[in-house]
Amino acid sequence: MFADRASKPRSVEPKASDVLANERTFLAYVRTSLACIGFGFVIARFGLFLERFAEFTHQKVTTHYSAAFGIAMAAIGVAVGAFGGWRYDATDRGLREGTVRRLTPVAGYMISLVVAAVGLLVAIYLTTAR
């Protein structure tokens, strides 16, 4: 008797504040996604700017990393948007079932490592682009 009740998720009407907090979090993912995509576009186009500037000043610069890094940043932005949509849906289902669906520690570590790697690549790019 208790096994049936425990295995079947109960339907709970979530509080409005919880639903709105979930939506605000989703919008933060969307903003971050758009920022990464825009940042990727700027990085990719910055290489073209440097090439034109080098022609004007008769200097040699290496810009072959700009396009690749810009594309990678745009891809990260797309991944952040997709992850945000998935988290929004998982949290919404959890709210309706009366459970908490947290991010696993492994996922948290992986996200932190990706952010650290992007920061490191930006620092390396900025020091070698001179």
**Is the pTM above the cut of 0.75?**
no
Sequence-ordered alpha helix ranges (H) in 58-130: 64-97, 105-128
How far apart CA 50 and CA 41 sit, in angstroms, is: 14
Domain boundaries, the chain: 15-102
Any idea what DSSP says for residue 58? T
Over range 53-71, report the average pLDDT: 75
How far apart CA 112 and CA 110 sit, in angstroms, is: 5
How far apart CA 40 and CA 99 sit, in angstroms, is: 37
Judge whether 80 and 29 are in contact, CB under 8 Å. Answer: yes
Question: Hey, what are 15's tokens?
Answer: 């509080």
Summarize pLDDT for 27-57 with one digit per residue, the tens: 999 999 999 999 999 888 877 777 776 777 7
């409005």: which residue's tokens?
Answer: 16
